[in-house]
Amino acid sequence: MVFSSGFLQAGRVDKADIARQLSRWTAEGKLIQLRRGLYMLAGNHLRRAPHRFLIANRIQRGSYVSLQSALAFHSMIPERVPVVTSVTTGRPRFLETGAGSYQFRHLHPELFFGYLAGDPGDGSSAFLAFPEKALLDLIHLTPGSDDPGYLGELRLQNLETLNLDRLNEFARHSRRKKWLRAADLVKEMADKGE
């Protein structure tokens, strides 16, 4: 369970008492502080830990999981990704919490599309990029990534599951030459069965 400290401040309560109790429970290992004002129950007090993608969405409102995290989730890359990476129109930041590491990359508001609320695998709901958009977000945020060598280093897999029409639609929607070049290269890779 992830909750805001404001949730406990409903009604006639002493905010200082609540802050002290939250601090005490955190020190005793009953709670994990994710960021200022946001907590979750510690593992031994949970039936089931919330999914890391849900935690990322709650840490940074107005974000969605993308880049390598979404690509790994969609089985597009073979690596396990220890840091959950999301994009946001807000400030970039990195947080190390008792519930994992979370990175938030800045994306211009006109490029903030191509995601949906879906089940990350535990019955919850989290905002997650389509695999095509996760790939384009990665290309956008990585210098030199529209090069065939870089795309080869990603070791993309299961390209037959990639929706090439959606990839091209997203690239055209962005009006970014880099995205269009990358979409063409990925299509070539998929056509060759790489």
Return d(Cα 27, Cα 30) in angstroms, integer: 8
The Cα–Cα gap between 72 and 78 comes to 7
CB burial of 149-169 (b: ≥16 within 10 Å; e: otherwise) equals ebbeebebeebeebeeeebbe
- Which pLDDT does position 6 carry in this prediction? 76
What pTM value is reported for the model?
0.88
Confidence class for position 45, pLDDT limits 50, 70, 90: low
Give the domains, in start order, of the chain with CATH numbers.
Answer: 1-49 (1.10.10), 50-192 (no CATH)
Please give the backbone phi and psi of residue 162, each rounded to the nearest 5 degrees, phi first: -70, 135
Model confidence band, residue 194 (pLDDT cutoffs 50, 70, 90): low
Contact 181, 145 (CB under 8 A): no
Over residues 133-174, the pLDDT tens digits come to 999 999 999 998 888 889 889 999 999 999 999 999 999 999
| Closest residue by Cα to residue 118 from 39, 35, 51 | 51
List beta partners, residue 40.
2, 32
Query: Does the pLDDT of residue 121 top 90, yes or no?
Result: no
Backbone angles phi and psi of 46, in degrees to 5: -120, 145
